[in-house]
Amino acid sequence: MVRTRSLEHGISEAKEAAAAGAVPVVMSGDGLVGQVGGALAGTDATMGILPGGRGNDLARVLGIPTDPAEAVAVLADGKTRRIDVGEANGRRFLGVASCGFDSDANRIANEARLVRGNLVYAYAALRALLAWRPARFTLVLDGGEPIEYDGYSVAAANSRAFGGGMFVAPHAELDDGMLDVITVSDVSKLRYLRGLPMAFKGTHLENDEVSEMRAATVEVRADRDFAVYADGEHLTDLPATITVLSGALRVIAPTGQLVGPPS
């Protein structure tokens, strides 16, 4: 067991373990899981996951239990599956790359120290909403015609969930070589706030201001600076080109259907 001092240290230890023929198992939240997974992508290494963070969204979608004994049982079972890995301006991620309102909320969540558990995401969203003003986004999907809209955010989803169980892209698949692109156009802050709880069940897609598209490559620009976050970490800044490395990572996880939003 190695107690990591930073993301960089964790990545280095995992790569050394993999090079020695071992299976690196990450006990952490989505941040370290995503960065280690990105570093191991494209190699013959297999990664294990023990959920140990606030969100644990990749583990949730893969069906890895949060109970430590049950999660270890998944590791002992040894079943593996290949999943896609996303890239935003060359920086790799496993979950959902997003920007706009999500940039502000992610920053606030990462800076919060007094709020525990999943409550931090609700706290961050409320804090971000107070100061929010709409942005103008421009998207290009797979080299097509530009799509412009005023609104809150754009998310390029490799996986289904972020933010501690918000199924922002409930139809996303981890092994289809595609990104599910979710946009939220401009509505009142009150309507946006009412829509947030719907994301935990994936029913926000029923709202007129929410659009769902799919692409292998997504180019994103905006009329002001935004950080691009994925797996809870600041990956890069706009403008950004987001792509997929198909089947690039082998993980120990239950096989079969991915976990979707609760009914």
Residues 120 and 178 in one domain: yes
Residues 78 and 164 in one domain: no
What DSSP element (H or E) covers 99?
strand 96-100
Which residues are known catalytic residues?
233
**Taking all residues of the chain, what is their mean pLDDT, rounded to a whole number?**
94
pLDDT at 13 over 60: yes
According to the model, what pLDDT value does residue 114 have?
60
According to the model, what pLDDT value does residue 51 have?
96
pTM as predicted: 0.93
What DSSP element (H or E) covers 240?
strand 240-252
129 domain residue, yes or no: yes
Residues 104 and 182 in one domain: yes
- Least confident piece of the model among 38-52, 104-118, 173-187: 104-118
According to the model, what pLDDT value does residue 190 have?
94
According to the model, what pLDDT value does residue 77 have?
93
Residues 201 and 76 in one domain: no
According to the model, what pLDDT value does residue 145 have?
98
Q: What angle do CA 96, 64, 98 make, to 5 degrees?
A: 5
Residue 191 and residue 185: Cα distance in Å, rounded?
11
Rg of the chain over Cα atoms, rounded to whole angstroms, equals 18
Count of domains observed in the chain:
2
Within 132-239, strands assigned E span 135-141, 147-157, 179-185, 210-215, 218-222, 227-230, 233-237
For residue 9, how many C-alpha atoms fall within 13 Å in the half-sphere facing its CB? 5
Q: CB atoms < 10 A from the CB of 143, how many?
A: 9
Specify the CATH number for the domain of residue 26: 3.40.50.10330
Domain extent for 187: 91-246
According to the model, what pLDDT value does residue 112 have?
73
Residues 102 and 207 in one domain: yes
Within 7-88, strands assigned E span 25-28, 46-51, 80-88
pLDDT tier at 120, thresholds 50, 70, 90: confident
Tell me the per-residue pLDDT of 181-222, one tens digit each, with 9 for 90 and over.
999 999 999 999 999 999 999 999 999 999 999 999 999 999
Residues 108 and 59 in one domain: no
Q: Which residue matches tokens 């989803």?
A: 157
pLDDT at 174 over 60: yes
Q: Please list the residues that pair with 27 across neighbouring strands.
A: 50
Tell me the per-residue pLDDT of 230-246, one tens digit each, with 9 for 90 and over.
998 999 999 999 999 99
